[in-house]
A and B are shown apart, each in its own frame.
Chain A
Amino acid sequence: MSAVDNIPHIPEKSPMSFRSVINNAGIGIALLLMILFFSVASEHFLSANNITNILTQITINLILAVGMTFVILIGGIDLSVGSVMAFAAVVAGKAITLPGLGATELIILAVLAGVIAGMVCGILNGVVSAYWSLPSFIITLGMLNIARGAALQISEAQTIYSFPFAFEEFGSMLIYGVPVVFLVALALVVIAWFVLNRTVFGRLIYGIGNNEEAVRLAGHPVFWYKVAAFSICGLTAGIAAIIYMARLNISSPIAGIGFELNAIAAVIIGGTSLSGGRGSVIGTLLGAFIIGVLANGLILIGLSDFVRQMITGLVIVIAVILDHYRAKYSAS
């Protein structure tokens, strides 16, 4: 018996529906206009090097935002991803600098350690907030401090450095000008898209965001789905940590401060509703591009740091206002 047939009365808002295509098209058009503006305003913007730069620059935010999409879709939020990334980076950094092992073993060990460290934090976030039905806002705020403290404790607040050469090479490798690390992020987007749209699990993630009670009444273990959503978010923070290390060839316990806000911004700009149940990971991809293009383009046209910060904030506010109208339009 297919589990999907058991879900009663969940308003079906498939991310591939006509409306959602229109929604994503709107974000896509905004991105295109931005690209158009910057390519006119700066001769460097569309250069091959700068495109490579932008792809590298959005990679970490995109990876974090993919995991964040799952959590926001169930109506939650994860404020801890920046700290969890630092924690995972420090754990992986300790692993990769262990003495007496070959480069291959060290890299495998570090990747496993980092990903597991991230996932453990995610599982804890999920279990605590779902079991006691507590707002994830507060639980992940707690985790934000726990993970940061743990990162500082383990590293004794020192930057960890000197990683195997092959690891560093992976971080800066290009295929036809496209950074391999960006391809990793893109692969995660594709996997997440498949999971959200083509699996029962994914449909239930939307279902929980729309009407948790209905999913529960249909006999689905809502608790475990919630834990899974937070674990995925922790997992992506772990992957982001590995990418951070490969790119910069260090692990820093103060990495990722404020990254959660950029990841949430990418998800929201991408049209995923903060109240859950509505949105798509393709939107998140576009949202991450909008933030990255904006950060890059505003430097290229020579705007000052402070003006740049104001404009980025403005874009987030506009995106949320647009989301308000989208919600109204969908409801009517």
Chain B
Amino acid sequence: MKLMKFAAAAATSILLSTSMAAAEDKPVVGLIMKSLANEFFQNMLAGAEAHEAERGDYELRAVGMQNETDFESQINAVENFITQGVDAIVVAPADSKAMVRPLKRAMEAGIVVVNFDVALDEGAKEQQGVELAFVGPDNRGGAKMAGDALGAALGEGAKVVIIEGNPGADNATQRRLGFEDAVAEHKLNLLDSRTAHWETEEANQVFSTMLTANPDIQGVMAANDSMAIGVVKALESAGRDDIKVVGFDAIPAVMPMIEDGRMLASVDQFGQQMAANSIDLALEVLAGGPQLEGWVKTPIELVAGE
């Protein structure tokens, strides 16, 4: 059913694209994102749509997926875009290895491919003989910025814990490594590190139990803000206002918490502009600019209270 609907939608857009391309001859950019259930990608989509309206010199076709691990639908999306003959594909891969081969096919079909948000696996790229630049934030560097803020506030030897994202997810791993970099640099004492699968309720439960096991925790590093909210609620329930919390993503719901000091800081990686920036880069290459190389880093910024 889903498949049929998808096929129907794809067929309609092929028809539309041929007629529109003939009419206006604007370049067509296919945007492939991860789960649109994720606030981060939802904002990114909104940013890309605003960007399309603002520039007005290209046509955007965006595809998301059902959940974070549904990478098969991303592979299908690449194939559909190849069939539709888009000019450029801008993609946030759900799986850094599985996406290499379909993207190689797209490049062979003469499509400009820009990889953003999550970098494709170096080994897999080498194996397939693909050279492709990466446009995106340094998740590890961003997490280190948050960890540094915590380290600076607490000082050497402070006892901290990490609340991780989904085990196995690339950005979760990068953020954990970034936190661990900060732990090493500030000589913090890492007591425990556990996953709460990016989710508020689970972070609340897991952290309140960690706090029972280690009542002397001084700081918490959460790999996203949804989990940081769960941590803050657990601290409120336990009546503790002496423990500092940092998060990641800077979603609107945590801004009041950063303002009133319940959270120390979060990290904004400007997700809203990230897709738009990548589209700009793709259009430059399309217009005859030089090929992208290596890692084009996008801005990240620490968001902290006064």
A254 touches B237 (CB 8 A): no
Look across to chain A and name the residue whose beta carbon is closest to the beta carbon of B209. A299
B42 touches A53 (CB 8 A): no
B204 cross-chain contacts in A, Cβ below 8 A: 247-248
Does B251 sit at the interface, judged by CB under 8 A? Answer: yes
Contact A47 to B212, CB < 8 A, known contacts A158-B39, A299-B194:
yes
A159 cross-chain contacts in B, Cβ below 8 A: 39, 226, 229, 251-253
Contact A300 to B199, CB < 8 A, known contacts A248-B230, A254-B37:
no
Does B155 sit at the interface, judged by CB under 8 A? Answer: no
Q: How far is the CB of B39 from chain A (nearest CB, A)?
A: 5
B238 cross-chain contacts in A, Cβ below 8 A: 49
A305 touches B167 (CB 8 A): yes
A148 cross-chain contacts in B, Cβ below 8 A: 37
Which among A158, A162, A254, A295 is the interface contact of B205 at CB below 8 angstroms? A295
A255 touches B199 (CB 8 A): yes
CA distance A110 to B100 in the complex (A): 47
A157 touches B37 (CB 8 A): yes
Contact A156 to B42, CB < 8 A, known contacts A249-B233, A250-B200, A305-B167:
yes
Look across to chain B and name the residue whose beta carbon is closest to the beta carbon of A148. B37
Q: How far is the CB of B256 from chain A (nearest CB, A)?
A: 7
CA distance A152 to B35 in the complex (A): 11
B212 cross-chain contacts in A, Cβ below 8 A: 44, 47, 49-50, 53, 300
Interface residues of B in 240-295 (CB under 8 A from A): 251-253, 256
Does B52 sit at the interface, judged by CB under 8 A? Answer: no
Does A14 sit at the interface, judged by CB under 8 A? Answer: no
A53 touches B200 (CB 8 A): no
A299 touches B206 (CB 8 A): yes
Contact A247 to B195, CB < 8 A, known contacts A159-B251, A252-B200, A299-B206:
no
Look across to chain A and name the residue whose beta carbon is closest to the beta carbon of B238. A49
CA distance A227 to B43 in the complex (A): 39
Does A99 sit at the interface, judged by CB under 8 A? Answer: no
Does B213 sit at the interface, judged by CB under 8 A? Answer: yes
The CB with the most chain A CB atoms within 10 A, among B205, B206, B212, B251, is that of: B212
The proximity string for A residues 277-309 relative to B, scoring 1 for CB distances below 8 Å and 0 otherwise, is: 000000000000000000110011010011000
A49 cross-chain contacts in B, Cβ below 8 A: 212, 238
Does B36 sit at the interface, judged by CB under 8 A? Answer: yes
CA distance A58 to B210 in the complex (A): 16
B237 touches A56 (CB 8 A): yes
Interface residues of B in 196-217 (CB under 8 A from A): 197-201, 204-206, 208-210, 212-213
The proximity string for B residues 117-145 relative to A, scoring 1 for CB distances below 8 Å and 0 otherwise, is: 00000000000000000000000000000
CA distance A32 to B56 in the complex (A): 68
B209 touches A255 (CB 8 A): no
A248 touches B201 (CB 8 A): yes
Does B38 sit at the interface, judged by CB under 8 A? Answer: yes
CA distance A256 to B197 in the complex (A): 12
Q: How far is the CB of A95 from chain B (nearest CB, A)?
A: 17
16 pairs, CB–CB < 8 Å, chain A vs chain B: A50-B212, A53-B209, A158-B252, A159-B39, A162-B256, A172-B233, A244-B201, A248-B200, A248-B233, A252-B199, A254-B226, A257-B199, A300-B212, A300-B213, A305-B167, A306-B167
Give 5 nearest A-B pairs by CB, closest first: A157-B42, A161-B253, A299-B209, A159-B253, A50-B212
Binding site for A on B (CB under 8 A): 36-39, 41-42, 167, 192, 194-195, 197-201, 204-206, 208-210, 212-213, 226, 229-230, 233, 236-238, 251-253, 256
Binding site for B on A (CB under 8 A): 42, 44, 47, 49-50, 53, 56-57, 60, 148, 152, 156-159, 161-162, 172, 244, 247-250, 252-257, 295-296, 299-300, 302, 305-306
